[in-house]
Amino acid sequence: MPVSVDSCGREVIFDTPPERVLAIGSEAPGLLVAAGAGDSVTHYAGSLEVPFDAEVKDVVEGAERVTEDSHDLSFEMIISTGVDAAIGTDISAASDINALAERLSQAGVELITVSGYCAGVEGGASVGEQPGFDLIYRDIEAYGKLFGTQEIADQAIQGLRERVTAVEEQVAERPQQSAIPLYVNAEGPLGAYGGQALVSEQMALLGLDNGFGGVEKRYFEPNAEEIVDSAPDLVFGMFLPTGSSELETEADVIEELRSRPELAGLDAVADDSALLPLNYFYTSASPLAVDGLELLADQLANE
């Protein structure tokens, strides 16, 4: 019986479950494994520096590596893999995902975009406006249906929900605090995450107010005055370890933030208990977001 999967407002119909899948980006492998479909992942386009758990790591390392940076993927690269389906992130902000999906479908490959990225896909905004954790559960459920592993998917979703609830209970007695999530790189300006970012939802679950929550964007670059005026109790120093960047460890991130003259007016940056480094991958639209939530809760408990 054919199975229909909603990909950011675009209906994708499968007559049979895919047997050869290209997982694109850091989110798809964890979602597929949670859904019980890890055995179908034959190819991977993405980083090996992602903090996957042991089961997901085995799947990724056992798959054929297509490229380290999923944004480098092209139509030709996807077709050359011989896969039945490509599941993952938006590949490139410069790509028309719907046009690419149609072209791939004509060549025998169905493209499904991870729901956490639907806000950037034309016609997918209504899906992208849903809470990020709900989109994670939505994808696991959809992939379980597609691959005929619904029982495994349902159990995974229940487990993730229970872990999120446990974190909420853990932080329930904490006083309300404000925080700002800054993206740190060794070159260029600081970035920040607004109300549409998954990290903002993580912060809310932790009982924190995102100082940039009123910015109706996922990511933006605030000026120095906006950062200092936010006067947060806590600062999340988000970074992306790639294995070759200048910011690979939490110590690197702390040192970088404290060397930034534009942050000299922020007391939280100078306070060891108020400056919390956060690996960017722990804010991805996948089960890693739950790992990140638990990690942050533990950090807050040790303030």
pLDDT confidence of 303, banded at 50, 70, 90?
low
206 and 283 in contact (C-beta within 8 Å)? no
Cα dist from 147 to 30, 67, 139, 252, whole Å: 15, 25, 12, 42
For residue 9, CA distances in Å to 12, 112, 117, 123, 220 come to: 9, 11, 12, 6, 26
Q: How far apart are CA 5 and CA 7, in angstroms?
A: 6
| Bridge partner list, 210 | 179
Residue 165 has pLDDT above 80, yes or no: yes
Domains of the chain plus CATH, in order, are: 3-167 (3.40.50.1980), 173-301 (3.40.50.1980)
pLDDT in tens, 7-34: 998 999 999 999 999 999 999 999 999 9
Nearest-angstrom CA–CA distance, 170 and 162: 12
Mean pLDDT of the chain: 92
The answer to whether 160 and 287 are in contact (CB under 8 A) is yes
Q: Is the pLDDT of residue 125 over 80?
A: no
For residue 119, pLDDT over 80 is answered with no
Residue 112 has pLDDT above 60, yes or no: yes
Contact 193, 199 (CB under 8 A): yes
Does the pLDDT value for residue 45 go beyond 70? yes
pLDDT at residue 187, rounded to an integer: 78
pLDDT, one tens digit per residue, over 216-272 is: 888 999 999 999 999 999 999 999 987 767 788 899 999 999 999 989 889 999 999
The reported pLDDT for the residue numbered 91 is 74
Contacts of 36 (CB under 8 A, 6+ apart): 144, 147, 149, 151, 152, 153, 156
On whether the CB atoms of residues 37 and 149 are closer than 8 A, the answer is yes
Instruction: Please say if the pLDDT value at position 36 is more than 90.
Output: yes
Q: What is the distance between the alpha carbons of residues 15 and 108, in angstroms, rounded to a whole number?
A: 12
* Per-residue confidence band for 39, with pLDDT thresholds at 50, 70 and 90: very high
Q: What is the pLDDT of residue 135?
A: 94
pTM of the model: 0.93
In contact, 287 and 155? CB cutoff 8 Å: no
Tell me how far apart the alpha carbons of residues 3 and 145 are, in angstroms, rounded to a whole number. Answer: 8
Average pLDDT over residues 193-220: 94
Tell me the per-residue pLDDT of 128-147, one tens digit each, with 9 for 90 and over: 567 789 999 999 999 999 99
pLDDT 10s digits, 53-111: 999 999 999 999 999 988 889 999 999 999 999 999 867 655 788 899 999 999 999 99
Taking the C-alpha atoms of residue 101 and residue 142, their distance in angstroms, rounded to an integer, is 18
Task: Kindly tell me if the per-residue pLDDT of 207 is higher than 60.
Answer: yes
